[in-house]
Amino acid sequence: MKKAYGAVLSSLMLVMACGQSGDSPDNEERAGAKPEEATGKEETATVAEADGSTSAQQADYTSMDNWLCHANKADDACSGERDYTVVNADGELDVKTFQAAENPQVDCFYVYPTISMDVTPNSDLDAGAEEKRVAASQFGSFAESCRLFAPVYRQVTLPHLQTVMRGGEFTADTELAFGDVKDAWHHYLETSNNGRGVVLIGHSQGARMVERLLREDVTGSEAEQLIVSAMPIGYTMYGDDDTGAVGPFELCTTKDQTGCLISYVSFRSDFPPPPESRFGVSHTDGRRAICVNPAELSGGDGELDARLSRAGFFGLENASFVDGSSIETPYAALPGMLSAECVEGKNHTWLSVTVDGDPSDPRADDISGDVIAQGNTLRDWGLHLIDMNVAMGNLLDIVAAQSETWSARQAANEAEN
């Protein structure tokens, strides 16, 4: 079977963290081993003291150095090339030129996944190539509809999670990480928002940060009315007991719905979550994990509009996507090849991704996105590496529709007043 990527991560022991629900480090973060491109930085990130206090200095979000992406920052991590190539089943290539909105009416605020290769338990605030790359891949294209804001935060690092998985003690300060995100959020609200609608987006550890913002900071505050939607993706999330919503935020069921939430974890349809997988696992109290299908918000099966990265999650791939040719753009779409539906199993709920490739045509008939360690595919991780990119076109369409709804409502309110 032809793979969409020309290289596979078999030469790596891959590290990723799922940022799962729960209070213990073991239930909150999981890891394997680190990629070969570690930054080698050895600065010590301050962690929590024994009494629960922290001696770390507060991050300064007045400085553009502490933002990966910001509406007032030139040449930021999100401003690189965002064109993509439509790879049709007959092998024809059609390049689509990215167009950022000239005057977007809403903002997008993004928290990136576990990606830092700093060798300390918490990362520092000096963004490396890995943070910049994942922000570009997962977030840059939302400039079609939004002004973009993505803070650097002192997250739990990949090397530290590797140590934990090998039996070491979890010493990272999760409150330091969330404190940074919360501070950045409040700085954004105070200096840049001006009553604009906001889409909150996060993946993996970043999705956990988004959930905490929603539950602990946004709900019940003035900012609650600003939330166009929330997209905590690649993270096991549960709705409230009585409603299934997350506080005041219901699950999205139509594209133009606002004040709603989209969340899911993705697995191949032919490799559903094994019993040991924590992605999408049912809560101990019986609640099912949230799954909202971005390809068909009303339920059922829908076509995925992927934007798969030529460089892969860790920037080490060289994808061709089609026999005898290679794409020149950073991303590729594969129309008609991918579909998805939310599935409830015995103990898991997940977004089931079907790959419908044709070995007889020149297009690659399979995709990469599995987590591979020492040549072995870790099925309990599913398609975690491409949770967002496998549905990127769908997510972009949803945000565009939500932005139109929000803008029309704001215009109507202004006309009444």
The predicted structure's pLDDT at residue 38: 34
Residue 98 one-letter amino acid: F
State CA 37 to chain mean position distance.
Answer: 21
How many Cα atoms are found within 13 Å in the side-chain-facing hemisphere of 391? 33
The stretch 110-120 carries a mean pLDDT of 96
Question: Domain spans of the chain?
Answer: 9-36+62-416
Query: From CA 391, how far away is CA 374, in angstroms rounded?
Result: 28
Residue 287: predicted pLDDT: 95
Q: How large is the average pLDDT for residues 235-257?
A: 94
Query: What pLDDT, on a 0 to 100 scale, did the predictor assign at position 104?
Result: 96
Calpha distance 115→411 (Å, rounded): 40
Phi, psi (5° rounding) for residue 200? -95, 125
Task: Identify the residue with better confidence: 202 or 241.
Answer: 202
3-state secondary structure of 337: coil
In this predicted structure, the answer to whether residue 40 has a pLDDT above a threshold of 70 is no
| Distances from the Cα of 234 to the Cα of 20, 120, 136, 264, 269, angstroms | 9, 24, 17, 6, 16
Return the pLDDT at 6. 37
pLDDT 10s digits, 62-99: 999 999 999 999 999 999 999 999 999 999 999 999 99
Percent over 70 (pLDDT), the chain: 85
Question: Two tokens at 339?
Answer: 């579909």
Q: Is the pLDDT of residue 326 over 70?
A: yes
pLDDT of residue 323: 87
In the numeric block, the tokens 């956990």 are attached to: 208
Q: In what order do the strands lie in the sheet with 266-268?
A: 266-268, 349-355, 338-344, 302-303
Q: Which two tokens stand for residue 77?
A: 């991590």
* Concatenated DSSP letters of 165-178: HTT------HHHHH
* pTM for the structure as a whole: 0.89
